Amino acid sequence: MTPTLMIVIVVCVFAFCFDFLNGFHDAANSIATVVSTRVLTPAQAVCWAAFFNFIAAFSFGTGVAKTVGHGMVKDQFVTPSVLLAALFGAILWDLGTWWLGLPTSSSHAIVGGLAGSAIANAQILHGFSHSFAPIQVSGWIGTIAFILLAPLIGLILAGIGMQIVYRFFGKQTPKQSDKLFRRLQLLSAAALSWAHGTNDAQKTMGVITGLLVSVKYLPSFKVPIWVVLFAHTAMGLGTLAGGWRIIHTIGKRLTKLKPRTGFCAEAGAAASILFSTFLKLPVSTTHVTAGAIAGVGTVQRVKAVRWGVAANIVWAWVLTIPAAALLSWMFEHAFHWFPGSK
């Protein structure tokens, strides 16, 4: 086995771990509402979500993967150690926030990690005056903008959905309403899991394809089919494992949900994510789902949303990119001191 092949295998293993953790961490986004409204049991919900996460492999192409792997950091600064450091930083941040029960973004953790490790590589190669040479500003504009816009779109769409529900189903008894929307929530939960798979699995595809290009195993950035299946399988398995701490925060602590509010939140979040995927932008399923849930809570009553919990979630959002970047920056500098790394 050649050294290059060994490096590729090591990075792929950690990419698999990251994608598994992404599914594990972000499973809460697609099943929190359907579990909290008791439409499905936790075991049923994760199986439902994992299935739709996986079949998302066969839709929407790989535009988000190209943005992550080719559009955020300049190619000449992408090396196997940079990608490995980015994965380490993102994984460590995800594990820490999972332990605290904070629904942060795996998507923004990996793009932050890529930025941090690439900056470290530029500093090692050219000095601190060239720290930001690797950053492709054009690739970051849309991503940064949609940190705010994607949850806002989810919030607005979910709120509009609630208004429509009140208009056409407001005269139904709670029992009648729940019977209908418990069934509809199966569809909305499936749509959200599918949307999650179309966007989130592509981050890992971008990392692995970037690796294959950097070691000359691929002549250009084109995602191989085995990478697509690899990423979606890992995410599906991670979703099966579930992330119950975060499910509790998203589905129960942020606001009280019923089948009709859960349906509107999931439908609004799914639409926002699919729109972002169409634009080839990596967005946070976590951010969008939390925004949509806040949207349905606000339509019912502003005080229905526990804004203290929402504030903690927002702080975690704000910190994710810089925290993951710092961790990955540290890992890349540490790798530089290993024997044979220079």
DSSP letters for 277-327? HHTT----HHHHHHHHHHHHHHHH-GGGS-HHHHHHHHHHHHHHHHHHHHH
- Residue 32 pLDDT level (bands cut at 50, 70, 90): low
pLDDT at 339 (0 to 100): 54
DSSP 58: G
pLDDT at 308 (0 to 100): 56
8, 280, 312, 327 alpha-carbon torsion, rounded to 10°: 30
More confident residue, 245 or 183: 183
Query: What mean pLDDT is predicted for residues 43-63?
Result: 83
Q: Which of 116-120, 132-136, 254-258, 260-264 has the lowest mean pLDDT?
A: 254-258
pLDDT at 254 (0 to 100): 46
Whole-number Cα distances in Å, 213 to 16, 112, 169: 18, 20, 54
- Is the predicted pLDDT of residue 253 greater than 60, yes or no? no
pLDDT at 87 (0 to 100): 95
The mean of the pLDDT values for the chain is 83
Q: Please name which of 325, 328, 68 lies closest in space to residue 201, comparing C-alpha atoms.
A: 68
More confident residue, 102 or 262: 262
CB 290 within 8 A of CB 313: yes
- Is the predicted pLDDT of residue 30 greater than 70, yes or no? no
- Residue 138 pLDDT level (bands cut at 50, 70, 90): confident
Q: Is the pTM of this model over 0.85?
A: no
Query: What mean pLDDT is predicted for residues 229-238?
Result: 88
- Is the predicted pLDDT of residue 147 greater than 70, yes or no? yes
Residue 170 CB coordination number (10 Å): 8
Q: Where are the beta strands (DSSP E) in the chain?
A: none
Kindly report, residue by residue over 6-15, the tens digit of the pLDDT.
989 999 999 9
- Is the predicted pLDDT of residue 121 greater than 80, yes or no? yes
pLDDT above 90 covers a percentage of the chain that reads: 37
Q: Three-state SS for 143?
A: helix
Q: Which of 170-179, 189-198, 257-266, 281-290 has the lowest mean pLDDT?
A: 170-179
Whole-number Cα distances in Å, 295 to 103, 202, 247, 307: 17, 27, 18, 12
Residue 145 burial by CB count (10 A; 0-12/13-18/19+): exposed, middle or buried? exposed
pLDDT at 28 (0 to 100): 59
Kindly report, residue by residue over 257-316, the tens digit of the pLDDT.
678 888 898 899 999 999 999 999 988 887 788 788 878 877 765 454 555 555 666 676
pLDDT at 251 (0 to 100): 44
Query: What mean pLDDT is predicted for residues 130-147?
Result: 90
